[in-house]
Structure formats: C-alpha cells, structure tokens
Amino acid sequence: MNICKLFFGLIAVAGLAGCAAPPASQYYTLMPASKAATPQTLHNGKYAIRVLPVSVPEQVDRPQIVLGTPNSAEVTLLNGSLWASPLSDEIRQALSSELSAQLGVLSIPAGPVPDKLALWRIGVTVQRFDSLYGRHALLDASWRLEQQGREDGSLKLCRTVLQVPVAEGVVPMVEGQRLAVQYLAATIAAQLSEKKLDVPAGRIIINGCA
C-alpha cells in the first residue's frame, strides 16, 4: 500500500539518522503562486467580496498534513510536513485570492466599505478535506453567498464536492488540494458572475444551489 511505503520510509530515514539532529520540517501552503498583475486581474469596481472565516473538520484542523487510508478509518499525521498557517486560514486566504483574481474585484477581509460599493459575503464550511496518498484530494464544502444589506432573496446556499487525482508524494498531494480550492473558487465565481463554469471534466462530483 502506497501510504504504508511512505510511513515505513519515514521510519527508515529516522533510523538512519541515529543521533543526528532531526530533519527540518517542510511547510506547505494552499495559496496560488504569485502572478504579475494584468489588466484582467485588476478590480472592476462593480462590487467587492469578503470571504468569512472558514470552518474545517476537527480531524484535519491541525498543523500536520493528514493522510487518509483507502477503505479504512485510519489516518496518518505527517509530523514533518506542516501547513504554513492554520488550515482554515490557508483555505480562506486561497479562496479570497482566487476569487479576487477570477472575478477581477477587490477582496476586503474586514472593515467598512463605501456605501455605493456592493459587498458579497462568502461563507464556507468544509465538510471533508480528504488526502488519499497517491490517489486523490477531495474537498466537500457547503457555502453561502449573501449581499450585505439586502433582504430581497439574494442569499444563495450551495454545496460543491470536488475530487482531484494526485501522484505519489506530499507535494503532489498539496497541489491536488490547492487545485480543489481553486476549482471551488471557480464554482463560486461562476455563481456570482452568472457565467459558465470552467472546471476540468471529472473534477466536480456534486455542485448545486438552493
């Protein structure tokens, strides 16, 4: 089993190290790679967005990257592979960055906004954040859109389940979860902009709003 190979490989490395200093931890982020600003990514001024604090399951709400085991309730904590910030913050910041870039609008994390600027509040609750080594990354999230100050039916309640195949290795695993967050941002952006959803085929398992 691939996850077993990883686990015993880590043990072997630890054994060879002997009395040497423990290896330095590796840190990972879900934030997209930095890109130079282009006219398409500058804000359009029609409205702004605010991604509210994200809720994540307690099982994965920890510094270590957590790997699941296929057909089992067993999980493995990678003590040498850590998130750069709390997982809920990683998801929130990545969503905020992706939505701002995809929609071309400002993301305002907190504080007041000008009276004439509409503000969409985006709440996300992650139901599952599964990382199956060498298989796939799965993100199951319920989310809500609400335009601040309006009570005319602008509220939307939605759920999206995404699955991204991954190769063996921690880096591919993190990249799979990063892509899942990117695709979640794309589904939210499509709902806000009322444009066609552009996500690779086979990545979306469930997507709908009430």
- For residues 140 and 126, what is the distance between their CA atoms, to the nearest angstrom? 6
User: Has residue 1 been placed in a domain?
Assistant: no
Domain interval for residue 132: 44-209
Query: Looking at residue 129, which CATH number applies to its domain?
Result: 3.40.50.10610
Q: Convert the pLDDT of each residue in 31-52 to its tens digit.
A: 987 755 455 555 567 899 999 9
Q: Which secondary structure element, helix H or strand E, spans residue 65, and what is its range?
A: strand 64-68
210 alpha-carbon distance from chain centroid: 22
Whole-model pTM: value is 0.86
Name 111's Cβ contacts closer than 8 Å, sequence gap at least 6: none
The verdict on residue 94 lying in a domain is yes
Helix or strand (DSSP H, E) at 88: helix 87-103
Question: In the chain, count of helices (H) and strands (E)?
Answer: 3, 9
Establish if 14 belongs to a structural domain.
no
172-210 per-position pLDDT tens digit: 999 999 999 999 999 999 999 989 999 999 999 999 998
Strand ranges for 105-184 from DSSP E: 106-107, 118-132, 136-147, 156-165
**pLDDT of 8 over the 80 cut:** no
User: Is 10 part of a structural domain of the chain?
Assistant: no
